[in-house]
A and B are shown apart, each in its own frame.
Chain A
Amino acid sequence: MSEPLIRIEGVTKRFGAFQALHGIDIDIGRGEFFSLLGASGCGKTTLLRILAGIEEPSTGRLLIDGQDMVGVPPERRPTNMVFQSYAIFPHLNVEENIGYGLKNLKLSKADMQTRIGNAIEMVKLNGLDKRNAHALSGGQRQRVALARALVMQPKVLLLDEPLSALDKKLREEMQLELRAMQRTLGITFVFVTHDQEEAMTLSDRIAMMSGGRIMQLDTPKALYENPANREVAEFIGTMNLFPAKVTAAKDAVLSLDGGLLGPMAAPAAKGVAMGDMVQVAVRPERVSIEKPGPAGINRIAGRVKEAVYLGDRINYVLAAQGLDRPILATSANTSGEIYPLGTEVMATWDTEGARVLTS
Chain B
Amino acid sequence: MSDDTKTNRRGLFARGGLFADRARRREALTGIGLLSPALVVMISMLALPVGALVIMSFWTQNGFNLDTSFTLDNYRRLFARSDRVTEWMGMTFHLAYPVPAILMIKSLAMSLMATVAVVLLAYPMAYFLAFRVTRYKAAWIIMLTIPFWTSYLLRVFSWKVVLGYNGAINSGLMSLGLIDKPLEFLLYNPAAVVITLSHAWVSFVVLPIFVSLEKIDRSMLEAAADLGDSRSRRFRRIILPLSMPGTISAALMVFIPTVGDYVTPQLVGGNGGTMIGSLVQLLFTKQNNAPLGAAISLVMMGIIAVLVLIFLTLIGYWKMRARRAS
Contacts and interface: CB of A to CB of B under 8 A. Distances in A.
B242 A91 contact: yes
A90 B222 contact: no
Given A90-B324, A134-B323, A73 B225 contact: yes
B261 interface: no
Nearest to A81: B226
B225 A75 contact: yes
Given A85-B219, A90-B242, A74 B226 contact: yes
A235 interface: no
Interface in B201-215: none
Given A87-B220, A134-B325, A104 B227 contact: yes
Interface stretch (B33-41, B109-117, B228-236, B292-300): B228-236
Given A87-B220, A90-B326, A52 B226 contact: yes
Given A87-B220, A89-B238, A91-B320, A75 B226 contact: yes
Contact of B229 (A53, A75, A81, A132): A75
A148 B225 contact: no
Contacts of B161: none
B236 to A, nearest CB: 11
Nearest to B219: A87
Interface string A68-99: 00000111100111011101011100000000
B96 interface: no
Contacts of A54: 222, 225-226
Contact of B227 (A53, A91, A133, A152): A152
B217 interface: yes
B225 A74 contact: yes
B2 to A, nearest CB: 20
Interface string B56-95: 0000000000000000000000000000000000000000
Contacts of A152: 227-228
A51 to B, nearest CB: 11
B245 to A, nearest CB: 10
A80 B242 contact: no
Interface string A126-149: 000000111100000000000011
B74 to A, nearest CB: 46
B326 A133 contact: yes
A144 to B, nearest CB: 11
Nearest to B238: A89
Contacts of A81: 222-223, 226
B222 A83 contact: yes
Contacts of B217: 85, 87
Contacts of A74: 222, 225-226
A105 interface: yes
B183 interface: no
A91 B222 contact: no
Given A81-B226, A83-B219, 4 more contacts: A79-B226, A85-B219, A87-B222, A133-B323
Interface of B: 217, 219-220, 222-230, 233, 237-238, 241-242, 320, 322-326
